[in-house]
Amino acid sequence: MAVTHFHLFTRVLGVLCYVTSILYLIDSFFPSSILKVTYSTFSAILLICALFFLTTMNRVIVLLLLATGTVCLMIEKSDFTLALLGFGENVNLLTLFLLIPLIGTFMSTAGYLSALKEKVLERQKKAGQHPYRLSFILTATMSVLLNFGSMAIVKRIADESFTSYRNQALTLTIMRGFATSMLWSPYFVNVGLVLVLFDVAWFDIGGYGLILACIYIVFCMIMFKKISFEDDPLIEKVDQTPKDHSNQSSICGFVTFCAILIILSFLLDFLLHVRMLTVVSLLAIVLPICFALITNNLKTFIQDVSEQVQTAFIKLKNELAVFISAGFLGMAMSHTDIGNFLSKVLFQASFGSVFFISLFLVILATLLAQIGIHPVIIVIGIGSALSPDQFGVSPEYLALVLLIAWTVSTQLSPFSGQVLMAAKLMDKPTSVIVKQNLLFVSMIGLTLTAVLYSFYVFGWL
């Protein structure tokens, strides 16, 4: 009976996660102080409950964030309402993190992903096998919408499609392909976060992010030959003949869905007076429902979503706790003068060089990520504390620096989502991936920072 009650409790909390997100979306279009207090209260409840499910290390980190934020608010003599609203500061990120996976759920329900797998089978049969190149391209494109889910999906497609490849090299290639989207995709939490922190529009930084992503891709191509694991034998399987499936309509549906989603995202961001983060979160709900109705998949889709909603809390408890507590700390720090102080210290330590400041922030984020400090905490801490004006740079420039810092640090941290996912897919410890990626990350971090600095020198940012 106790176990049953426990599962019921976590499922209710899962539903509460989505209720909180929907209240935030409503408030974005119809601002209300009551709604803000309500979803902030729900966030506080979710955080308190999450503390009981975290590992000791994560619990300590979250409590330290809360304690630091509380001290800041006490020093500034802030009232209770402001403190409560602090728990809702990052509900926008939580909303994006919860709702974007609904896109992948619909694609799976509608059979789009299965059709894509069959298409890959047919393609490799006709054009020959290029497992690493095709896996990289698939991940780089699918991750734009599917986030972490793209890595597992592409790995499954590769396992069932290719007859000759090295498993660890293929998985690392997939992981590097995933990071491409982290530099520009508005469907990623880190991009949404910097847009909010520095109050910039996606159109202000998206183009530069795409340029950095293209440079990153070139680097991946150059560094591919350097991938060499100690124990990574060639996997050879019997050639598979694609089954005779009529999947053309599903592929057309897949392309149509993706095209409409992307077009509407940018169009509505241009037309509406809300952030891109809010637009893509709303579309992640509305568009799958509309397509599910059109394709007669609504019942199955709702069933799949229901299960996803009810298990959300227990699956995402770590991210949930970090997002909420980091938002609370960021809000508290923004009400103090610590930003000006840290900006001056950093400016003096880097001898007033914008390049050295940028490189230092990337290195700092990478080092902190090695000891388990979540990138959300790092970016919010830096973004809330530092003032672009103090360094003589634009908010857009500092936002892009933090995008590079996030991308680089998560490629090397044994605690990051994609490294953990890659380790699981190749059935190896994270240390193997970190060791293999060390040179790549060092070079790409320096190169992207130098390229971004050149944008600043030329007066583009």
Task: Find out whether 44 and 118 touch, Cβ atoms under 8 Å.
Answer: no
Task: Find out whether 360 and 347 touch, Cβ atoms under 8 Å.
Answer: no
Closest CA to 399 of 264, 218, 198: 198
Residue 28 within a domain: no
Residue 390 within a domain: yes
Task: Find out whether 306 and 354 touch, Cβ atoms under 8 Å.
Answer: no
For 238, the 3-state DSSP assignment is coil
Instruction: For 165, list phi and psi in degrees, rounded to 5.
Output: -165, 165
Which amino acid, one-letter code, is at 152? Answer: A
In whole angstroms, give the CA distance from residue 337 to residue 155: 48
In whole angstroms, give the CA distance from residue 183 to residue 80: 37
In whole angstroms, give the CA distance from residue 398 to residue 404: 10
Q: Is 70 exposed, middle or buried (0-12, 13-18, 19+ CB in 10 A)?
A: middle
Residue 75 within a domain: no
In whole angstroms, give the CA distance from residue 316 to residue 189: 14
Tell me how many degrees the CA angle 273-274-279 measures, rounded to the nearest 5.
Answer: 125
Residue 363 within a domain: yes
DSSP 151-173: HHHHHHHHHHH-SEEEHHHHHHH
Task: Find out whether 115 and 250 touch, Cβ atoms under 8 Å.
Answer: yes
DSSP 340-384: HHHHHHHHHHTTT-HHHHHHHHHHHHHHHHHTT--HHHHHHHHHH
- The range of the structural domain enclosing residue 361 comes to 97-457
In tens digits, the chain (461 residues) has pLDDT values of: 455 666 889 999 999 999 999 999 999 999 999 999 999 999 999 999 999 999 888 899 899 999 999 999 999 888 999 999 999 999 998 998 899 999 989 998 988 888 887 887 777 766 666 889 999 999 999 898 888 778 888 888 888 778 788 899 999 999 999 999 999 999 998 999 999 889 899 999 999 999 999 999 999 999 998 998 888 888 877 665 555 555 566 888 888 999 999 999 999 988 988 888 899 999 999 999 999 999 999 999 999 999 999 999 998 898 899 889 999 988 888 888 777 777 778 878 888 899 999 999 999 899 988 887 878 888 888 887 787 887 889 999 999 999 999 999 999 988 888 898 898 888 888 889 999 999 999 999 999 999 999 999 999 98
Residue 205 within a domain: yes
In whole angstroms, give the CA distance from residue 132 to residue 147: 19
The pTM score is: 0.85
> What's the distance, Cα to Cα, between the start and end of the chain in Å?
61
Q: Other C-beta atoms within 10 Å of 142: how many?
A: 24
Q: Cα dist. 288→103, 309, 370, 445 in Å?
A: 6, 15, 37, 37
Residue 56 within a domain: no
Q: Taking the alpha carbons of 29, 34, 39, 44 in that order, is the dihedral positive or negative?
A: positive
Residue 89 within a domain: no
The Cβ-side half-sphere exposure at 127, using a 13 Å CA radius, reads 11
Number of structural domains the chain divides into: 1
In whole angstroms, give the CA distance from residue 260 to residue 248: 18
Residue 408 within a domain: yes
In whole angstroms, give the CA distance from residue 247 to residue 111: 9
